[in-house]
């Protein structure tokens, strides 16, 4: 056999439509209704202001550790725009903009970060999973859902998110390998924000792109400017259409940047330089999209002011709802299985008896296993 270079059928395409100053490539610009464009901007702005509110609440001790999404709004929202309510949406924990667009109440997301189980309850009518912190475990869940979609021949797709650091986990690779072998209707978005907590992108993988990992699994990929919501939408629409028509999975690497902390338990000054952050600030997806809408005469200072006031009122209401919530002391029993097992019902009854009467439960050893 002669020595020769192999030709691989799979490909990786790169997409950018909006430059940082809001200038658009007319040949690639998607034709979106004006009301959709304004709605997308309002959602991005809502996510940014939600971030600011939750950061403040955490610093005041009113919610637990919080993971901001500042700088990454387009890298989730653009793809969520491409699916419908019958499709499945599987987030990691930095997809606030997409969750708001899908219809998650702000108060529910606040309750999740506040440690309440009810915060993991998706709104009715949506095929959504809740926020997932165990790194890359959601990729396996999404793969399983998309496998079920294919077996049932539903024509629906599954959209799942993971960070660049998550691609170093076995769960990600196992899910992608399975998705490729069985040509599942899965769209895997990688939010490459350049940092896996304190580990930089170059220490995660030696490959020039993360997108090209799709080639090893036998399917195509995109690498998009993740701060360009139009590029995210174009790539997302193509990937969703392919999946819906039986063409199999796609990886989309969205190049973005984490402008804030990893979480409120993190101090990024210990591992990255301020100069790096300042270099990325002008590429902010919100600034870029705003400039685009202003050039289209869809956004003015007056409209911006009105939107901010509407969002502020919603945030005030959501904060009041979240802080007014009082969880049952036995609530944790109710979120383990769809239907509580006999053993759990027995343990719950014992705890309720103890709480009501202050008496020692009759089966203390069993209760200790809760």
Q: What is the per-residue pLDDT across 176-186, written as a single tens digit (0 to 9) for each? A: 999 999 999 99
Percent of the chain with pLDDT over 90: 91
Give the domains, in start order, of the chain with CATH numbers: 12-324 (3.40.50.970), 331-367 (no CATH)
Q: Is 217 exposed, middle or buried (0-12, 13-18, 19+ CB in 10 A)?
A: buried
pLDDT of 366 strictly over 80: no
Rg (CA), the chain: 22
Report pLDDT digits (tens) over 283-300.
999 999 999 999 999 999
The 3-state DSSP composition of the chain as helix, strand, coil percent (nearest 5) reads 50, 10, 40
- Report the pLDDT value the prediction gives residue 159, as an integer from 0 to 100: 98
pLDDT of 368 strictly over 50: no
- Report the pLDDT value the prediction gives residue 367, as an integer from 0 to 100: 45
- Report the pLDDT value the prediction gives residue 15, as an integer from 0 to 100: 97
pLDDT of 370 strictly over 50: no
Q: Are 96 and 47 in contact (CB under 8 A)?
A: yes
Q: How far apart (Å, rounded) are the C-alpha atoms in residues 277 and 204?
A: 19
Give the pLDDT band (50/70/90) at residue 312: very high
Give me the active site residues, please.
258, 262, 271
Q: DSSP characters for 6-46?
A: PPPS--EEEE--B-TTS-B-TTT-----HHHHHHHHHHHHH
Phi, psi of 133 (to 5 degrees): -95, -40
Task: Say what the pTM is.
Answer: 0.93
- Report the pLDDT value the prediction gives residue 359, as an integer from 0 to 100: 58
Report pLDDT digits (tens) over 193-218.
999 999 999 999 999 999 999 999 99
Give the other-Cβ count within 10 Å of 266's Cβ. Answer: 18
């Amino acid at each position: 056999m002669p020595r020769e270079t192999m030709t691989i059928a799979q490909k990786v395409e790169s997409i950018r439509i909006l430059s940082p100053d809001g200038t658009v490539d007319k040949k690639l610009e998607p034709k979106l209704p004006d009301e959709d464009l304004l709605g997308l901007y309002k959602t991005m702005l809502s996510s940014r202001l939600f971030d600011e509110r939750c950061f403040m609440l955490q610093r005041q001790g009113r919610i637990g550790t919080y993971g901001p999404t500042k700088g990454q709004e387009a890298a989730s929202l653009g793809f969520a725009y491409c699916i419908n309510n019958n499709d499945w949406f599987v987030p990691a924990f930095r997809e606030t903009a997409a969750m708001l667009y899908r219809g998650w109440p702000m108060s529910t997301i606040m309750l999740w970060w506040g440690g309440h189980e009810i915060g993991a309850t998706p709104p009715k009518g949506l095929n959504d999973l809740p926020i997932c912190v165990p790194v890359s475990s959601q990729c396996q869940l999404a793969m399983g859902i998309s496998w079920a979609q294919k077996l049932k021949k539903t024509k629906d797709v599954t959209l799942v998110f993971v960070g660049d650091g998550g691609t170093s986990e076995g769960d990600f690779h196992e899910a992608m390998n399975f998705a490729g072998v069985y040509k599942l209707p899965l769209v895997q978005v990688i939010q490459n924000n350049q940092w896996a907590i304190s580990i930089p992108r170059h220490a995660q993988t030696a490959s020039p792109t993360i997108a090209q990992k799709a080639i090893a699994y036998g399917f195509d990929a995109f690498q998009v400017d993740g701060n360009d919501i139009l590029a995210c939408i174009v790539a997302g629409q193509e990937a969703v259409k392919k999946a819906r028509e039986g063409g199999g999975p796609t990886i989309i690497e969205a190049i973005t940047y984490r402008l804030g902390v990893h979480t409120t338990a993190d101090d990024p000054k210990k591992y990255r330089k301020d100069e790096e952050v300042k270099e990325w600030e002008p590429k902010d997806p919100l600034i870029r999209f705003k400039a685009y809408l202003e050039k289209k005469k869809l956004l003015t200072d007056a409209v911006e002011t009105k939107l901010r006031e509407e969002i502020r009122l919603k945030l005030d209401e959501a904060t009041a709802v979240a802080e007014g919530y009082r969880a049952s002391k036995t609530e944790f029993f109710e979120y383990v299985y769809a239907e509580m097992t006999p053993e759990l019902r027995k343990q719950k009854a014992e705890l309720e008896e103890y709480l009501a009467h202050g008496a020692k439960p009759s089966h203390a050893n069993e209760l200790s296993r809760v």
